[in-house]
Amino acid sequence: MFQSGMQESQQNLITIEDIRPEVVQEVLRFIYTDEVIGLETMAHELLAAADKYSLDKLRKMCENHLMGHLEQETILQTLVLADLYHAQKLKDHAIHFICENIKTMQGTDWK
């Protein structure tokens, strides 16, 4: 991008409008240190960023974190994001979670 003659290469500036600054900061931390601090609070958003920027190791970290924290309240959001961002292992775990907990979910206001 910076070597292509695009506007960004002339300004040495990239504007990222679809990702919150805190998430971009964590993505940059991951790129430079191979570590992520915000998985607890940003795993869904980091998964989206990992998919967008082809950061496979970050995607796997997000998938593993989310698989360990599946909950009835967020399972549909997790399933949709797993499908949208090509996280097949997470998608499979989410479907399994739903199948294992279907009776409980049917007895609540689960939507």
Does residue 29 lie in a domain region? yes
Q: What is the pTM of this model?
A: 0.80
Q: Which domain holds residue 61?
A: 7-106
Does residue 68 lie in a domain region? yes
Q: How many domains does the chain have?
A: 1
Cα 74 to Cα 8, 40, 69, 71, 111, distances in angstroms = 38, 13, 9, 6, 10
pLDDT digits (tens, 9 = 90+) for 65-100: 999 999 998 899 999 999 999 999 999 999 999 999
Does residue 111 lie in a domain region? no
Does residue 84 lie in a domain region? yes
Does residue 1 lie in a domain region? no
CATH of the domain at 72: 3.30.710.10
pLDDT digits (tens, 9 = 90+) for 38-71: 899 999 999 999 999 999 999 999 999 999 999 9
Segments in 1-111 forming alpha helices (H): 7-11, 21-33, 39-52, 56-67, 75-84, 88-100, 102-106
